[in-house]
């Protein structure tokens, strides 16, 4: 089992730019890419049926010499490419055995930037366990046993439980209850991010979250995360006892937040979102949904690393429900394993969200079964953390899904 407690491959600024340019990622469902072989395909590719020992890799914005090397290295019948009409970028999809990809990436034929991108991708795909740094000292292991993050919204207007825990003692009691029910960490927020919501001043957020963080940090031994896009809220919350920052903007709202995280020795969740909660559902068009989300997350990762956040302290979240329509949310979940290409632990938050309610015609309180299905398949696809409201039920769902994925149950008498 490969554990990433340091950077998978040492990277400098140019390496980060290379990963953003080429955006290499494994395809779980290659046909979902709509291969478009009729446009500019080299020869007549005869891709073999999907096979466990074969990897489909998508590469974007290839230079001419990189494309030529790819075709020569893998063979004309293993590479398809097309030129994007809107940008003139060359996009290629290659399919071959794992060992052939490795041989090509290590050969003198492979240009340096393409070699780095492929090696980083192959290393990332092989990494399944991560050790996060926590503010205040200590680490938190993420491995094949999924972690459940309990949601603690200290807001009057969150979409699911707004107003229920606005009183500090009620919020503290609920946090303690979630830990008792099996939560592996508690995600605390003082600002609603429901579609259409307006920002909440940092002063108000702090008045809501600080008493709860201070109390829980003295009473529980699980990590606490602060759900905020504000560097001020993050700084004060980490000083009060929080260990992790959960930034739904992926550092686009307040880039200074990354410096705060780095200075505190904390970890950070970087989520993909277009715009703000108030505007995010106004534009849900993507030419390539997964590719564009990956590119956005790579940009956020670069911002964090540049600010000094260690590579092993970054978690990614594809942003279910944030600037995506119902079908796109289902597509993200069906292709969740492709986000392993980033080499970071994956957090998913489908709990009680609108795509479940709209598809099943269920109001918020009745979405637990739909949430359970989304959680189970997320874990089966490699999610390390699921962020949920219904901790006890989703803990059971996540554990069973993980045991099915592993093909074996727990060792009797050993806690999982």
Q: What are all long-range contacts of 301-306, with beta carbons under 8 Å and residues at least 24 apart?
A: 301/16, 301/270, 301/342, 301/344, 302/16, 302/17, 302/19, 302/20, 303/250, 303/251, 303/255, 303/258, 304/251, 304/258, 304/261, 304/268, 304/270, 305/11, 305/16, 306/13, 306/16, 306/258
Measure Cα distances from 303 to 74, 233, 338 in Å.
34, 19, 22
Tell me the three state secondary structure of residue 80.
Answer: strand
Residue linked to tokens 């001419």: 64
C-beta atoms surrounding 300 within 10 Å: 23
CA-to-CA distance for 392 and 97, rounded, in angstroms? 42
Tell me the three state secondary structure of residue 58.
Answer: strand
Residue linked to tokens 């398809």: 80
Contact 252, 230 (CB under 8 A): no
Contacts of 99 (CB under 8 A, 6+ apart): none
Q: Which residues are catalytic?
A: 353, 387
CA-to-CA distance for 41 and 288, rounded, in angstroms? 19
Q: Is the dihedral of CA 272, 276, 280, 285 positive or negative?
A: negative
Contact 264, 132 (CB under 8 A): no
Contact 224, 140 (CB under 8 A): no
In order, the DSSP letters of 93-154 are EEEEEHHHHHHHHHSTTS-HHHHHHHHHHHHHHHEEEEEEE-TTS-EEEESSS-EEEEEEE-
Length of the chain counted residue by residue: 416
């Amino acid at each position: 089992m490969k554990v990433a407690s340091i950077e998978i491959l040492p990277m400098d600024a140019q390496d980060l730019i290379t990963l953003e340019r080429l955006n290499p990622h494994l395809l779980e469902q290659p046909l979902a890419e709509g291969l478009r072989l009729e446009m500019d395909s080299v020869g007549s590719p005869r891709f073999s049926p999907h096979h466990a020992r074969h990897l489909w890799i998508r590469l974007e914005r290839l230079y001419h010499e990189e494309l030529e090397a790819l075709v020569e290295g893998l063979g004309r019948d293993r590479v398809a490419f097309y030129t994007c009409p809107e940008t003139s970028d060359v996009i290629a999809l290659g399919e071959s055995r794992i060992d052939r990809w490795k041989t090509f990436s290590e050969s003198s034929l492979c240009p340096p930037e393409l070699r780095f991108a492929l090696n980083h991708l192959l290393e990332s795909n092989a990494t399944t366990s991560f050790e996060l740094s926590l503010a205040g000292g200590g680490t938190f292991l993420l491995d094949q046993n999924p972690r459940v993050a309990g949601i603690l919204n200290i807001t009057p207007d969150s979409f699911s439980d707004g107003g229920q825990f606005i009183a500090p003692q009620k919020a503290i009691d609920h946090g303690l209850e979630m830990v008792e029910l099996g939560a592996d960490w508690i995600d605390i927020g003082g600002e609603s991010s429901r579609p259409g919501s307006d920002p909440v001043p940092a002063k108000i957020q702090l008045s809501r979250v600080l008493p709860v963080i201070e109390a829980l940090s003295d009473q529980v031994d699980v990590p606490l995360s602060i759900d905020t896009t504000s560097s001020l809220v993050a700084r004060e919350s980490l000083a009060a006892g929080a260990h992790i920052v959960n930034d739904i903007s992926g550092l686009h709202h307040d880039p200074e937040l990354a410096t705060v995280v780095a200075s505190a020795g904390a970890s950070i969740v970087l989520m993909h979102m277009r715009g703000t909660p108030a505007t995010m559902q106004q534009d849900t068009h993507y030419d390539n949904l997964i590719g564009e989300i990956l590119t956005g997350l790579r940009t956020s990762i670069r911002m964090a690393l540049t600010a000094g956040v260690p590579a092993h302290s970054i978690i990614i979240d594809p942003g279910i429900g944030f600037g995506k329509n119902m079908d796109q949310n289902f597509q993200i979940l069906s292709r969740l394993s492709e986000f392993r290409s980033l080499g970071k632990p994956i957090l998913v938050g489908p709990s009680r969200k609108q795509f479940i309610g709209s598809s099943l015609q269920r109001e918020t309180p009745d979405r637990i079964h739909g949430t359970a299905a989304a959680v189970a398949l997320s874990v089966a696809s490699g999610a390390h953390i699921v962020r949920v409201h219904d901790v006890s039920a989703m803990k059971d769902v996540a554990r069973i899904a993980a045991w099915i994925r592993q093909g074996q149950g727990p060792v009797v008498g050993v806690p999982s």
